Chains A and B, each alone.
Chain A
Amino acid sequence: NAGVTQTPKFQVLKTGQSMTLQCAQDMNHEYMSWYRQDPGMGLRLIHYSVGAGITDQGEVPNGYNVSRSTTEDFPLRLLSAAPSQTSVYFCASRPQGSNGYTFGSGTRLTVV
């Protein structure tokens, strides 16, 4: 198993550009989520999904869209990037009925 794979690892965007952060897992986990990590803020939940076709907002959803068309993939879309979205983004997954989360290696995004 590759676990949770995030791509790209690093990205620089200009203000107003759009992009998609990819997250894929090969463990058949039902639950997937996106967090952002900012210095001194811990990790904050952006969006999450409890299964294919089901998504919901977390603590800081504004400026981000998600979809879950398959169990394996949970992409995070920035439609119009802003400097405030400069952060490190982590994807995590967990199987239903289990307690353990698996985190991806992260995507470091800079918006200039």
Chain B
Amino acid sequence: DIQMTQSPSSLSASVGDRVTITCRASQSVSTYLNWYQQKPGEAPKVLIYAALDLQSGVPSKFSGSGSETDFTLTISSLQPEDFATYYCQQTYSFPPTFGQGTKVEIK
């Protein structure tokens, strides 16, 4: 199985901050890497697919980059509605696996 490791596991940030979350795969996943946002009590929601493509309806403050084993999710200017847990997921090979999550909290 491909292991997905996110860092940090949690972070505290202020409104307006630029935030970067990284995801590392234990082997290459090409660009088959997705990012999801999950708020408490809700289902995850896709933000970025194929490493850098913005899902329809998702604000452009979210961006993704990377390939092979190293990926990043960036939030350009953190807003109150962005405080949530973020997960990466690889769909390159079975089983599709998720990172452990990064919880973004208010400083």
Partners in one complex: no
